[in-house]
Amino acid sequence: MSWLLSLLLVSLQPTLPASNDSTAVMQTGARFHEALAEGDSATVAALLLAEAVILEGGRRESRGEYLGHHYARDVAFLQAMTRTIIWQTVRVADALAYVATVSRLQGTYRDRAYDLSSAELLVLHRTPGGWRIGAVHWSSAPYR
């Protein structure tokens, strides 16, 4: 009888708490940014789902278009900037999550000084291999 009670108690234990998912989602977003700043295209590609959409400057790019064109410019720009996170939040709902971030980017790129407020929304999907990015939206404006 005690083995049945033990089995019942184990089966009633809650699944991983949402805070663990939130931590994993935040870590995926942080790895994405680290890989961008380091120019690690293999990690960026691995974190973006094959069907990922990147929205920036009023345009849409597929994962392949982004990695083939815009990615190299983002790496060069981010390597010239200091990024300071001003505000960030994460929400997890089952197999979907998002990370919303406002950061300040400061630095000089191509002989031009920048001081920007950058807004970012990462939409992540739970996959068998962990959380992966399905959509990215970036916008920026002069910092005030």
Q: Does the residue 79 lie in any domain?
A: yes
Does the pLDDT at position 133 exceed 60?
yes
Domain around 107: 18-142
How far apart, in whole angstroms, are the C-alpha atoms of residue 114 and residue 50?
Answer: 32
Q: 3-class SS at 107?
A: strand
Q: Does the residue 109 lie in any domain?
A: yes
Q: Does the residue 1 lie in any domain?
A: no
CATH, residue 25: 3.10.450.50
Q: Does the residue 10 lie in any domain?
A: no
Burial state string for 22-57 with b = 16 or more CB within 10 A and e = fewer than 16? bebbbebbebbbebbeeebeeebbbbbbeebbbebe
In eight-state DSSP terms, residue 75 is: H
In tens, the pLDDT along 22-80 reads 999 999 999 999 999 999 999 999 999 999 999 999 999 999 999 999 999 999 999 99
As for how many domains the chain has, the answer is 1
Q: Does the residue 60 lie in any domain?
A: yes
Q: Which amino acid is at 111?
A: D
